[in-house]
């Protein structure tokens, strides 16, 4: 399900982008990945929407980073920290710490999408595996 990421060739360098710009991009990439995961499921549109929303909310993103953090390089962990430190309070329905972790996740996703799509695809493949 990650071939679309592996084949991406960026013409934009992430080096000049700030953590929140990378997080904004990462949010879109993560949602696209989730939509592609669910699009072949025989569900009604509303159910597809709800399935994707349950995967792209801050709590799910914080859970995702917890699963892949042991696999992150020091540089990726640095981007996690940068994104986490730039996050605001977030929405009222999620605590600030969870929102900050989710912003860090999105920052890594955005940075890797532009810098190393194959690495991002590898991490997404890890997340797509069942939890044991």
So which residues are the catalytic ones?
A: 27
Res 87: pLDDT: 78
Tens of pLDDT, residues 57-104: 999 999 999 999 999 999 999 999 999 998 777 667 788 889 999 999
Full DSSP string of 67-107: HHGGG--HHHHHHHHHHHHH-----TTS-HHHHHHHHHHHH
Res 70: pLDDT: 95
Res 51: pLDDT: 86
Number of other residues whose CB lies within 10 A of the CB of residue 56: 19
Tens of pLDDT, residues 1-60: 678 898 888 888 998 999 999 999 999 999 999 988 888 888 888 988 888 888 889 999
Residue 132 has pLDDT above 80, yes or no: no
Res 112: pLDDT: 97
53 versus 121: the higher-pLDDT residue is 121
Res 100: pLDDT: 93
Global pTM value: 0.90
Burial of 123 (0-12, 13-18, 19+ CB in 10 A): buried
């Amino acid at each position: 399900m990650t071939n679309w990421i592996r084949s991406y060739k960026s013409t934009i360098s992430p080096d000049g982008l700030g953590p929140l710009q990378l997080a904004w991009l990462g949010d879109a990439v993560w949602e696209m990945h989730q939509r592609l995961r669910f699009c072949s499921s025989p569900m009604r549109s509303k159910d597809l929407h709800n399935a994707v929303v349950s995967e792209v909310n801050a709590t799910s993103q914080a859970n995702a980073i917890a699963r892949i953090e042991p696999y992150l390089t020091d540089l990726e962990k640095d981007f996690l920290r940068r994104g986490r430190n730039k996050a605001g309070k977030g929405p009222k329905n999620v605590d600030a710490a969870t929102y900050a972790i989710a912003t860090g996740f999105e920052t890594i996703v955005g940075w890797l999408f532009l810098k190393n799509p194959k690495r991002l695809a590898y991490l997404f493949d890890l997340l797509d595996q069942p939890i044991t």
